[in-house]
Amino acid sequence: MASSSSSSYSSNYLRLLSLTKLLTSHVNQGRHHESLSLFQHIHSSLSHCLDPFIFPLALKSCSFLHCPQLGSSIHALTIKYSFIKNPFVACGLVDLYGKCLSIDSARQLFDETPVRNVVVWNSMISLYAHSKDMQSALKLFDKMSFPPNASTFNTIINGFLEMEDGFVGAVTIYRKMQEMNVEPTLITLLALLRACVGISALRLIKEIHGYLLKNDIDPQSHLRSGLVEAYGRCGCLDEACLVFESMKQKDVVSWSSLISAFALHGQAKLALETFEKMEKAKVRPDDITFLAVLKACSHAGLADEARMYFSKMNDKYGVVPNSDHYACLVDVLSRCGRLYEAYDILNRMSMKVTAKAWGALLGACRTYGEVGLAEIAGKALLEIEPNNPANYVILTRIYASNGRYEKAEKLRKEMEVRGVMVSPGSSWVV
């Protein structure tokens, strides 16, 4: 009898193991509806031999599908089976409550969790970081009862990067990471490069570069592509080229980063030559590549070349232009005085024209003294950005420089009525 019972348990355990593997596959592949259906099947058929490992998987699917009621039912089951003390179950519950109910409810559950490992702490810190409450994230970080790991620091660094002027905060946390002798991961270094670009921290870029060479932690070249972009944005084109040439496998990201670096610093010839080399290397350009190419044309005033690349983008490579591509094309045509050609592009756009595109046309209208198009562009901008003082100032100056003082005064009064303030450095003297 005992042997029969043991055999039955063993059979059920093997069946549970097999279903748990399938459940894991569903979750990892994003099949969350199938995951929850399978979880309910496991619970109803194997409730007497459940283990805690299936619960974090089900909770993850609940979070993704935003099912707080089902999540609460699973929470009740974890209490029933005494799995609430399992830190991975607790982590899943904290994440669920934070994403589906509120940060406060997640914090209450976190505070009541009897066993908290570093994963549970990271889960709560991550919720604060994603909600951009970095003050609460740092307070909880300081209270950690476990040494923080790389994931802890990565969460906080990326949280700072999602905030305005958060670059310095990201670098400060990285320095703390070094003080605590926590080794950075690829995620850490990629995030740091974003911060370096934001504050032009060339010394830190070189520090990351040295770390890369010393530890050889980036065989996929993601970090090297990031270094090309970072060096390029800081104006160190020679260093950007050296890193690029050192790459064994040059993908579309690395090529685009180098083209963008040349374009940003007015090296249009080098940018376009690099694009030609990219084509010869049989690397297919994407929308970011063409944006860099169009910016290079814009900075150099290469209007005909910009039109050619704009056509090639869709006709040869099937890349559908977005609003940024149109804005670049309008900008280069406008800079070259081809205002009505630029206006025709705006009229034929298949999407809503952005303030950036209208702004390029308006600025060129001022340069070339084109009042008629300036009025059209100005009116469009005042609808899109009614509180942007720059649009009023430019249009008013166009009116004034062409002797239309009444219209200039009328626009100035309209600005006063709307309560739009002129930024420091602008002037109404005409």
Q: In this structure, are 283 and 330 located in the same domain?
A: no
Task: Kindly state the DSSP code that residue 143 receives in the 8-state scheme.
Answer: T
Q: In this structure, are 295 and 333 located in the same domain?
A: no
Per-residue pLDDT tens over the stretch 249-296: 899 999 999 999 999 999 999 999 999 999 999 999 999 999 999 999
Indicate which CATH number applies to the domain containing 365. 1.25.40.10
Q: In this structure, are 330 and 427 located in the same domain?
A: yes
Q: What mean pLDDT is predicted for residues 61-78?
A: 93
Q: In this structure, are 291 and 372 located in the same domain?
A: no
Among the candidates 304, 336, 358, a domain finishes at: 304
Number of domains in the chain: 2
Amino acid (one-letter) located at 283: V
- Does any domain span residue 103? no
* 0.95 exceeded by pTM: no
Per-residue pLDDT tens over the stretch 172-183: 999 999 999 999
Q: In this structure, are 235 and 278 located in the same domain?
A: yes
Q: Between the CA of residue 68 and those of 74, 228, 336, what are the distances in Å? A: 10, 44, 57
Q: Between the CA of residue 96 and those of 103, 153, 341, 374, what are the distances in Å? A: 10, 22, 53, 52
pLDDT in the model for residue 248: 85
Q: Is the dihedral of CA 56, 60, 65, 68 positive or negative?
A: positive
pLDDT in the model for residue 11: 79
- Does any domain span residue 126? no
424 has pLDDT over 70: no
Q: Please calculate the CA angle 174-179-182 and round it to the nearest 5 degrees.
A: 70
pLDDT in the model for residue 140: 97
Asked whether the beta carbons of 159 and 137 are under 8 A apart, the reply is yes
- Does any domain span residue 260? yes
Q: In this structure, are 299 and 332 located in the same domain?
A: no
Amino acid (one-letter) located at 367: T
Give, for 181, the enclosing helix (H) or strand (E).
none
Per-residue pLDDT tens over the stretch 5-49: 556 657 777 888 899 999 999 999 999 999 999 999 998 887 767
Per-residue pLDDT tens over the stretch 139-157: 999 999 999 999 999 999 9
Split at pLDDT 50, 70, 90, the class of 72 is very high
- Does any domain span residue 93? no
Distance between CA atoms of residues 130 and 95, nearest Å: 11
3-state secondary structure of 430: coil
Q: In this structure, are 241 and 281 located in the same domain?
A: yes
Per-residue pLDDT tens over the stretch 93-109: 999 999 999 999 999 99
3-state secondary structure of 416: helix
Half-sphere exposure of 174 (CA within 13 A, CB side): 27
pLDDT in the model for residue 15: 86
399 has pLDDT over 90: no
pLDDT in the model for residue 10: 72
To the nearest whole number, what is the mean pLDDT of the chain? 89
Neighbours of 59 (CB within 10 A): 29
pLDDT in the model for residue 57: 94
Split at pLDDT 50, 70, 90, the class of 403 is confident
2 has pLDDT over 70: no
pLDDT in the model for residue 70: 93
Distance between CA atoms of residues 326 and 2, nearest Å: 77
Give, for 216, the enclosing helix (H) or strand (E).
none
Distance between CA atoms of residues 302 and 322, nearest Å: 20
Name the nearest CA neighbour of 187 among 223, 228, 227, 134.
223
Task: Indicate the angle between helix axes 87-100 and 118-130, nearest 10 degrees.
Answer: 10
- Does any domain span residue 403? yes
Asked whether the beta carbons of 89 and 123 are under 8 A apart, the reply is no
- Does any domain span residue 300? yes
Under 8 Å CB-to-CB from 285, ≥6 apart: which residues?
252, 255, 256, 275, 278, 279, 293, 313, 317, 319
Count, in order, helices (H) and strands (E) of the chain.
24, 0
Name the nearest CA neighbour of 224 among 199, 200, 246, 197.
246
- Does any domain span residue 29? no
% of the chain beyond a pLDDT of 70? 93
Q: In this structure, are 422 and 331 located in the same domain?
A: yes
Per-residue pLDDT tens over the stretch 346-371: 999 989 999 999 999 998 988 898 88
Reading the block at residue 71, the tokens are: 């999540």
Neighbours of 359 (CB within 10 A): 24
Neighbours of 376 (CB within 10 A): 16
Backbone angles phi, psi at 317, to 5 degrees: -110, -5
Expressed as residue numbers, the domain containing 296 is 202-212+220-304
Q: In this structure, are 254 and 339 located in the same domain?
A: no
Per-residue pLDDT tens over the stretch 202-259: 999 999 998 888 887 665 678 888 899 999 999 999 999 999 998 888 999 999 999 9
- Does any domain span residue 110? no
Q: In this structure, are 343 and 373 located in the same domain?
A: yes
Per-residue pLDDT tens over the stretch 108-140: 999 999 889 999 999 999 999 999 999 999 999
